[in-house]
Structure 1
Amino acid sequence: MTRLNTESALPYALNRVGVLMNADPADPLETEGVLNPATAWGPDGELYLFPRMVAAGNVSRIGRARVVIEDGVPVGVERQGVVLSPDEGFERGAHNAGVEDPRITFIPDLGVHVMTYVAYGPLGPRPALAVSTDTISWRRLGPLHFTYQPHLSTDLNFFPNKDLVFFPEIVPGPDGRASFAMLHRPMWDLDWLRPGEGAPVPAGVADGRPSIWIAYVDAEAARRDLSALTSLRHSAPVAAPEMPFEVAKIGAGPPPLRVPEGWLLVHHGVTGPVARGFELSHGAVYRAGGMLLDPDDPARVLARSQEPWLSPETREETVGTLGNVVFPTAIERIAGTLYVFYGMADSAIGVAALERTAD
């Protein structure tokens, strides 16, 4: 394995390709935009996009669209309807509803596509899971549950959680057992929900800013019963904001990609004001960067980008429901090139090529 240290510049870059999908003004389900998609290859050999579709009132659904590829480049989509709507009680509140920001990881060992998503329910954003074998029909496994860890002196299930994504392969767990791992991003601020509670961070956590964490599922248990994927243990912090482009918060992007140096994670970093509760972070700037995780211990960061790989510059990235946002959420190899799919200003979907800059 090629070795880097935390001061090394990661030998990768993101280069814009263009806009892949805009909201259809004639579709009431897309009134407030399409954004933050997942992707998956179907049994028919076609690549499908799973955009978050936002209707009036910030009600989100997850759609499905075939990606149109010309000369090896994704250039557009053909819509094929909705695969997930906020129909369950945990996905709805008295004045809100939504299934948001999906990430899809195909796990060959289980033979299924695993969709993590955010259920926008009565207590705010909560993590949930669905699975599919054909990318058309998705079976909910329900909300995620984090087992109690006494050394944290708190219950992680109290807190809103976003930016959830599984690794595609088995990794070693902290107990030495073969495991499936998931990155997540808990948010400690409870004051918006219950005034006076503040932001009670877990014991031993010095940095209360929203950061990337990891949790594990016993692989053998998941092989026996897929519902075991909803029961996560050994949760631990991976990376807090560190670089200038991520001083407010960071979160995981697409499923981690195995590269010669380890696991490459494309992530987003945020500067500026951070919204509370159900609000949007107007005035914040979202950029994309990357970090490298140790294949023998994916909770350990080997290196991270010191500068952003992609910043909001084009009109689609700077003007929209939430301006100045590039938000990477999916990655696929097409005809030998890696493409990252990302949300643009919470209104459209773009694509960029992930290129290696050095051997």
Structure 2
Amino acid sequence: MAGFQMKRLGLVMEPEPGNPLEVEGVLNPAGVRGPDGQYYLFPRLVAKGNYSRIGIARVKFNDAGDPAGVERLGVALEPETDYELRPNGGGGCEDPRITYSEALKRYVMTYTAYSPEGPRIALALSEDLFHWQRLGLATFRPYAGIAFDGVDNKDASVFPVAIPDPAGEPAVVILHRPLFPGTRPEETACQPASRVVDVHRESIWISYCPLGEAGDEPYHLCHFALHHRLACPVAPWEQLKIGGGTPPILTRHGWMLIYHGVHELAGPSAGAHKLCYSAGVLVLAPEHPRVILYRSPDPVLTPELPQERRGIVANVVFPTAIDRRDDLGLPDRFDVYYGMADDRIGVARLNVPEFLPPGALADPPRAETALRIDGRPQRESGQCVPLTIQGGSPPS
């Protein structure tokens, strides 16, 4: 096998006719194996006015072992707290990710709370997946003059095991992508193709919460004190933005996550920029996941099906859940659940190759270094590095 290969398995969930909780879409689910060994999805259920809840559903499999549908089981979280509700009556609990933490002996949910200040990362814990204890909003200490608090933040997920922090102490570790002003794809699309990329403010970050504090009092799990910058836009298919996707999961090569990248489609209509969300693969070192071992030069999944190209938001595949098929005795096979045009949920199968493919993209190891799209490093002083986006064609 030459590399990471993904094959669509089909549609697994779509809005239920007549269900007011789903009238504006079912999308971007968390997913995890429960204490009973069954696989559960936690989809974002969107009611009228973009009012979002987090549902819970059990995945049904066919005789071949492929996901074939779901059994709806209710609502796991709905907006209740001040950081999930807005003064105009809106609000939301959105786009969750769930990981079973071996260190905490509980499931950890990260989700987007649509707060009065904007989208923020919130956390909750559960022992059984049906009863959740809210922990509050995540907080982040400043780093090198960068203030994370007070900034929109989304698409967070945690590692299932304790990871050494920069001081070598075991920590609960979160991946997140702050949305600093000017770094949303709608904003970067307005900049020239050869633009200045601020590697600090356009990256996925790794942040650490000391495990001792989190273990003593679970509310400390929300407080992240140390940070590493992980990855910024490098390839044409992610030239406008990269961000988190599925929670990290251990493979034969290291920690793997399926992340998302955004680029602009040719031919804007009526002055609007047409964006395309695709998915790629990151593999991180098992002992120190701030080290990237592999990064796919091309996306492994792009919008192609009608359900992916037309919907609430067109041209979107957005991975958020992953299931290693140990239940089938196939540890190199993964089912990836993803949002389809912010409207439905699809599933695709990813096979991990025996060896990491050669020629993968790298990422700047320091703030002063960036990679041009042709892979050659260039150095600049300061935090911002010009990247010339060359080549690359949008999906047909």
Task: Report deviation, 1:208.
Answer: 6.3
- Alignment partner for residue 177 of structure 2, among 185, 199, 206? 185
- Kept in 2: contact 1:22–1:347 (CA 8 A): yes
Correspondence list, 1:1-359, <5 A: 11-71=3-63, 72-95=65-88, 96-149=90-143, 151=144, 153-189=145-181, 206-207=198-199, 210-272=202-264, 283-334=274-325, 335=328, 336=330, 337-359=333-355
Amino acid at match of 1:116: T
Task: Tell me the amino acid that sits aligned with residue 86 of structure 1.
Answer: P
Distance 1:188 1:238 in 2: 16
Q: Which amino acid aligns with 1:44?
A: D
Q: Structure 1 residue 110: deviation in Å? A: 1.3
What is the one-letter code of the residue matched to 1:87? E
Distance 1:125 1:303, change over 3 A: same
**3-state SS in 2 of match to 1:103:** strand
Conserved? CA contact 2:246–2:320, under 8 Å = yes
User: Larger Rg: 1 or 2?
Assistant: 2
Counterpart residue identity of residue 341, structure 1: Y
Report if aligned partners of 1:171, 1:179 keep a CA contact under 8 Å in 2: yes
Q: Is the 8 A contact 2:183 2:201 kept in 1?
A: no
SS at match of 1:306: coil
SS at match of 1:311: coil
* TM-score calculated relative to the size of structure 1: 0.87
Q: Which one-letter code corresponds to 1:265 in the other structure?
A: L
1:282, CA displacement in angstroms? Answer: 6.8
Cα distance change, pair 43–259 in 1 and its aligned pair in 2 (3 A) = closer
Greater mean alpha carbon deviation, residues 285-294 or residues 332-341: 332-341
**2:300 is matched by which residue type in structure 1?**
W
Q: Kindly state the Cα deviation for residue 11 of structure 1 after the two structures are TM-superposed.
A: 3.1
Note closer, same or farther for the CA distance 1:259–1:191 as it changes in structure 2 (3 Å cut). closer
Provide closer, same or farther for how the CA distance between residues 158 and 10 of structure 1 changes in structure 2, counting only shifts above 3 A. farther
Tell me the amino acid that sits aligned with residue 306 of structure 1: P
- Could you tell me whether the CA contact under 8 Å between 1:209 and 1:249 is conserved in 2? no
1:10 CA displacement: 8.6
Give the 3 Å change call, closer, same or farther, for CA 289–191 of structure 1 in structure 2.
Answer: closer
Q: Which amino acid aligns with 1:330?
A: A
Query: 2:365 aligns to what?
Result: none
Pairwise CA RMSD: 2.0
Identical-pair percentage: 45
Letter paired with 1:34: V
Higher relative contact order (CA 8 A, sep 6+): 1
Secondary structure of the residue that 2:104 maps to in structure 1?
coil
Corresponding residue SS for 1:105: strand
Cα distance change, pair 124–10 in 1 and its aligned pair in 2 (3 A):
farther
Q: Which runs of 5+ in 1 are unaligned?
A: 1-8, 193-204, 274-280
